[in-house]
């Protein structure tokens, strides 16, 4: 394990300035309700504007519609979008991981079919991993795809599927062969499934505050053509593990409460500030500075051809806990009660943080699972 | 859009890392560190360190130093912390050596230590509870006491920054003219009380940028480096121990509850080393008040968490003198309180963060001190 310090180059600083200028023009502070990190609004128009700048699927090759940019350049764009609370929800999953999976494991036909529209910000993807009886023990998935002429027939249920009701496609981990004794990772395959397929039923699972993000997706004899199998049948576990590595350690794991903190500072301007409040801003600035340096170094390692899976698991475990700690510190500081419908934007955001952030240490792999992943990687440390 | 030029990279010579790591690795055995604690010093380890010339890295050669960058001196200090080397490397080099060189005072032979500034409400006062009066001939008379002076009992020269007639003044006094009362910190490192009793030393006005506040910043950076090394070593000891210690038929590192301690300690080790290296990089380039304040606050907080996690994972073994964990944990508890507490640096950072306002808050996080301009 080694996090090597890095810093932005001249052209990278130019990109940062360009993104800041874009955001100041498109979403001037005070004119939009900031989103809380990656659980952002879906706004196809905004995604198209970002794509026009080459900022969606930017690390994909230009041959497939991308911009040949680096992980660090994507880090810069994502970081600025998230800290601004921009509505990046529509293209989020495709940009962060699905595009990479199709590039790495897909056929040229799949790359041609999916990557250019992903890079135009057109395609929204959902992720089909968890099932009613398979959560952290993901290898136990039982939704099955059975062989048919020119394709597969799928039956079963996926659960906690974010935004399936708004998205276009579903990348799904399915069982294509029975579980083998001693190798629970065998017999799994990855599929690209059209969310408008006949026999595919999407039912809302209301979130704890009544909002609609989660769904249950049920397959009743859904036909998936062979051309939508990703990679080799049976290699799904390996591919899925690779995909999860793209999910971890980025700014989405530590920036979610930033716009709330920034808004508190905005609303506090012009009035005398108690020392405890000022000190908290100082502490939070320091902690974000530290964790950002770790997270940036992970992106740089990826660009250097490394696979920093332990480092990214450490950053994600730390970052998501930090997000919750920020909210707790704000809660302890504020005397008034607040509501999701408070007049103050800060109070509305804080209420939303309190209610939704318990999920931050669960989504994309619980912190308990991350600790297992990371601690195995620590064994090789010299002492 | 005009193209931005990134600053020149700051590189640390790998040979420095390798040499210091090997030297301390050979000399600073568990027994040697314990013996230094019992006797109050380790002249043989200091002598070997002195022979390398690493004791004066970042002190200019024309001021009797070894040259090299501040970042390289900080890397050496990280290894001092990693091996719990019982020597006043920071005081002799980047603190004392720096003050003498900046003030143009000749560096006398022997070991130099520095009176740590005392935190006051919102700032720092140089000489602690001592004061100096200038004689007008390049000398000054010191009176009063200085507290918690590292290794004063072994030092040949004691350097402090005092306010004289409204100007920061560097004063260098022979230790033989002072009365020194030994006092240990929680790790048994000397943090002595010095009574000046009218001792006379050489004095020179400090140039711009050298005062109690900037001395405190360098001191804080030195502690962050020491702490980064200590946390990393403590974390490695814990990973090794929990993979060897078998209970219920398997290594205790296989238990999820223990893995939590390992992961949290590893995160703190990574965080503080990153903070030390980035702060050292920026301080090598110029003023780095944000990075140093942030790094010391993060190090202080990490020391609290990581010592707790590592001790818990070690069980009773970590509570013995026989096992080396305490060399690192007790140093961390002591260093945490030196050169600025959590509250001090939070307040400094809070002034910066509220000063830049809502629109400047994220640029402060990404650009640090450069965003304060």
- Is the CB of residue B320 less than 8 Å from the CB of residue B269? no
B154: domain CATH number is 2.40.110.10
- Is the CB of residue B69 less than 8 Å from the CB of residue B98? no
- Is the CB of residue B59 less than 8 Å from the CB of residue B98? yes
Please give the share of chain A, as a percent, with pLDDT higher than 70: 99
The fold of A10-123 is Butyryl-Coa Dehydrogenase, subunit A; domain 1 (1.10.540)
Whether residues B202 and B223 fall in one domain: no
Whether residues B271 and B360 fall in one domain: yes
Tens of pLDDT along chain B (373 residues)? 567 888 899 999 999 999 999 999 999 999 999 999 999 999 999 999 999 999 999 999 888 888 899 999 999 999 999 999 999 999 999 999 999 999 999 998 899 999 999 988 778 987 666 788 889 899 999 999 999 999 999 999 999 999 888 899 999 999 999 999 999 999 999 999 999 989 999 999 999 999 999 999 999 999 999 999 999 999 999 999 999 999 999 999 999 999 999 999 999 999 999 999 999 999 999 999 999 999 999 999 999 999 999 999 999 999 999 999 999 999 999 999 999 999 999 999 999 999 999 999 999 999 999 999 8
CB of B236 less than 8 A from some CB of A: yes
Homologous superfamily (CATH) of A248-378 is Butyryl-CoA Dehydrogenase, subunit A, domain 3 (1.20.140.10)
ipTM of the assembly?
0.97
Q: Residue A123: name the closest of A136, A110, A139, A132 by CA.
A: A110
**Is the pLDDT assigned to residue A246 strictly greater than 80?**
no
Whether residues B137 and B224 fall in one domain: no
Whole-number pLDDT of residue B2: 63
The hierarchical CATH code for the domain A127-234 is 2.40.110.10
Q: What confidence category does residue A383 fall into, taking pLDDT thresholds of 50, 70 and 90?
A: very low
What residue in A sits closest to B343 (Cα-Cα)?
A: A279
Q: Chain A contacts of B270, Cβ < 8 Å?
A: 1, 3, 294, 311, 314
B78: domain CATH number is 1.10.540.10
**Is the pLDDT assigned to residue A171 strictly greater than 60?**
yes
Whole-number pLDDT of residue A382: 44
Position B79 in a domain = yes
Per the structure, the complete domain to which residue B139 belongs is given by 105-207
Partner-chain contact A3 B273, CB within 8 Å = yes
- Number of domains into which chain B is organized: 3
Q: What confidence category does residue A335 fall into, taking pLDDT thresholds of 50, 70 and 90?
A: confident
Partner-chain contact A262 B362, CB within 8 Å = yes
Position B235 in a domain = yes
Residues 6+ apart with CB under 8 A from B226: B77, B78, B80, B81, B90, B331, B335
The residue out of B149, B184, B207 marking a domain boundary is B207
Whole-number pLDDT of residue B127: 67
Whether residues B232 and B135 fall in one domain: no
* φ and ψ of A272, to 5 deg: -60, 140
Position B92 in a domain = no
Residue in B235, B298, B357 nearest the CB of A286: B298
Tokens 């223990």 — which residue? Answer: B258
CB of A27 less than 8 A from some CB of B: no
Q: Which A residues 262-281 touch B at CB under 8 Å?
A: 262-263, 265-266, 268-269, 273, 275, 278-281
- Is the CB of residue B95 less than 8 Å from the CB of residue B225? no
Position B1 in a domain = no
CB of B347 less than 8 A from some CB of A: yes
Task: Tell me what the pLDDT averaged over chain A comes to.
Answer: 94
CB of A179 less than 8 A from some CB of B: no
**Is the pLDDT assigned to residue A381 strictly greater than 60?**
no
CB of B231 less than 8 A from some CB of A: no
Interface with chain A: mutation pick from B2, B266, B342, highest number of A CBs within 10 Å: B266
Whether residues B144 and B68 fall in one domain: no
Q: Chain A contacts of B278, Cβ < 8 Å?
A: 5, 7, 293
Question: Which SS3 state, helix, strand or coil, does residue B116 take?
Answer: coil
Partner-chain contact A278 B347, CB within 8 Å = yes
Whether residues B60 and B177 fall in one domain: no
Whole-number pLDDT of residue B39: 95
What's the burial of A29, exposed, middle or buried (CB within 10 Å: 0-12/13-18/19+)?
middle
Residues in chain B, overall count: 373
Partner-chain contact A16 B366, CB within 8 Å = yes
Q: Tell me the per-residue pLDDT of A76-93, one tens digit each, with 9 for 90 and over.
A: 999 999 999 999 999 999
Separation between Cα atoms, residue B338 and residue B331, nearest integer Å: 11
**Is the pLDDT assigned to residue A144 strictly greater than 60?**
yes
Position B202 in a domain = yes
Spans of all domains in chain A? 10-123, 127-234, 248-378
Whole-number pLDDT of residue B341: 95
Separation between Cα atoms, residue A79 and residue A8, nearest integer Å: 13
Partner-chain contact B364 A285, CB within 8 Å = yes
DSSP calls for A323-351: HHHHHHHHHHH--S---TT-SSHHHHHHH
The residue out of B61, B87, B113 marking a domain boundary is B87
DSSP calls for B286-348: S--HHHHHHHHHHHHHHHHHHHHHHHHHHGGGGGSSSSTHHHHHHHHHHHTTSS--HHHHHHH
Q: Tell me the per-residue pLDDT of A343-377, one tens digit each, with 9 for 90 and over.
A: 999 999 999 999 999 999 999 889 999 999 898 88
Q: Chain A contacts of B243, Cβ < 8 Å?
A: 379
Whether residues B227 and B343 fall in one domain: yes
């Amino acid at each position: 394990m080694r996090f090597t310090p890095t810093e932005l180059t001249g052209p990278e600083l130019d990109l940062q300035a360009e993104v800041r200028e874009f955001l100041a023009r498109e979403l001037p502070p005070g004119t939009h309700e900031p989103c809380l990190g990656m659980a952002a609004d879906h706004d196809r128009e905004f995604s198209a504007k970002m794509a026009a700048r080459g900022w969606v699927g930017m690390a994909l090759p230009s041959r497939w519609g991308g911009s040949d940019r680096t992980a660090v350049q994507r880090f810069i764009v994502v970081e600025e979008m998230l800290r601004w609370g921009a509505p990046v929800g529509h293209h989020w999953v495709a940009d962060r991981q699905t595009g990479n999976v199709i590039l790495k494991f897909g056929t040229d036909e799949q790359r041609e079919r999916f990557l250019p529209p992903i890079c135009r910000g057109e395609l929204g993807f959902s992720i089909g991993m968890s099932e009613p009886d398979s959560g952290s023990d993901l290898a136990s998935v039982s939704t099955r795809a059975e062989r048919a002429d020119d394709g597969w027939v799928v039956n079963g249920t996926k659960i906690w599927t974010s935004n399936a009701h708004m998205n276009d496609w579903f990348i799904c981990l399915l069982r294509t062969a029975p579980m083998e004794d001693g190798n629970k990772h065998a017999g799994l395959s990855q599929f690209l499934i059209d969310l408008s397929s006949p026999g595919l039923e999407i039912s809302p699972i209301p979130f704890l505050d009544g909002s609609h993000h989660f769904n249950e997706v049920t397959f009743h004899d859904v036909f998936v053509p062979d051309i939508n199998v990703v990679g080799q049948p049976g290699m799904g576990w390996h591919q899925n593990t690779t995909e999860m590595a793209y999910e971890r350690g980025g700014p989405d794991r530590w920036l979610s409460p930033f716009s709330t903190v920034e808004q508190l500072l905005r609303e506090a301007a012009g009035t005398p500030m108690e020392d405890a409040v000022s000190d908290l801003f100082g502490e939070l600035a320091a902690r974000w500075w530290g964790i950002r340096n770790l997270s940036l170094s992970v992106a740089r390692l990826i660009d250097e051809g490394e696979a920093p899976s332990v480092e990214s698991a450490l950053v994600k475990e730390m970052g998501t806990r930090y997000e919750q700690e920020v909210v707790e510190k704000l809660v302890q500081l504020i005397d008034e009660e607040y509501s999701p419908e408070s007049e103050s934007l800060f109070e509305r955001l804080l209420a939303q943080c309190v209610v939704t952030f318990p999920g931050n240490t669960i989504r994309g792999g619980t912190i308990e699972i991350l600790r297992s992943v990371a601690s195995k990687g620590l064994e090789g440390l010299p002492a | 859009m005009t193209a931005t030029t990134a600053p020149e990279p700051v590189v640390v010579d790998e040979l420095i890392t390798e040499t210091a790591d090997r030297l301390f690795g050979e000399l600073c055995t568990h027994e040697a560190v314990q013996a230094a604690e019992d006797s109050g010093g380790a002249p043989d380890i200091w002598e070997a360190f002195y022979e390398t010339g690493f004791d004066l890295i970042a002190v200019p050669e024309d001021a009797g130093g070894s040259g090299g960058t501040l970042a390289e001196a900080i890397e050496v200090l990280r290894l001092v912390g990693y091996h719990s080397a019982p020597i006043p490397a920071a005081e002799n080099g980047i603190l004392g050596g720096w003050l003498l060189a900046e003030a143009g005072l000749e560096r006398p032979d022997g070991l130099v230590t520095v009176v740590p500034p005392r935190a006051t409400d919102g700032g720092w006062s140089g000489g602690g509870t001592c004061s100096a009066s200038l004689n007008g001939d390049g000398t000054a008379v010191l009176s009063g006491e200085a507290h918690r002076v590292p290794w004063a009992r072994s030092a040949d020269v004691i350097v402090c920054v005092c306010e004289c007639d409204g100007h920061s003044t560097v004063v260098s006094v022979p230790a033989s003219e002072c009365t020194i009362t030994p006092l240990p910190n929680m790790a048994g490192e000397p943090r002595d009380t010095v009574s000046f009793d009218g001792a006379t030393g050489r004095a020179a006005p400090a140039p711009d940028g050298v005062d109690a506040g900037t001395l405190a910043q360098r001191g804080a950076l030195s502690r962050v480096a020491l702490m980064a090394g200590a946390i990393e070593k403590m974390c490695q000891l814990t990973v090794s121990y929990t993979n060897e210690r078998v209970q219920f038929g398997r290594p205790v590192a296989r238990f999820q509850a223990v893995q939590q301690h390992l992961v949290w300690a590893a995160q703190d080790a990574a965080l503080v080393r990153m903070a030390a290296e980035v702060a050292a990089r920026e301080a090598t380039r110029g003023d780095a008040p944000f990075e140093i304040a942030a790094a010391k606050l993060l190090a202080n907080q990490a020391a609290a968490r990581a010592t707790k996690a590592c001790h818990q994972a070690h069980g009773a073994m970590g509570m013995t003198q026989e096992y080396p964990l305490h060399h690192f944990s007790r140093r961390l508890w002591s260093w945490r309180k030196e050169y600025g507490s959590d509250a001090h640096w939070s307040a400094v950072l809070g002034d910066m963060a509220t000063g830049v306002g809502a629109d400047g808050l994220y640029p402060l996080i990404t650009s640090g001190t450069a965003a304060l301009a």
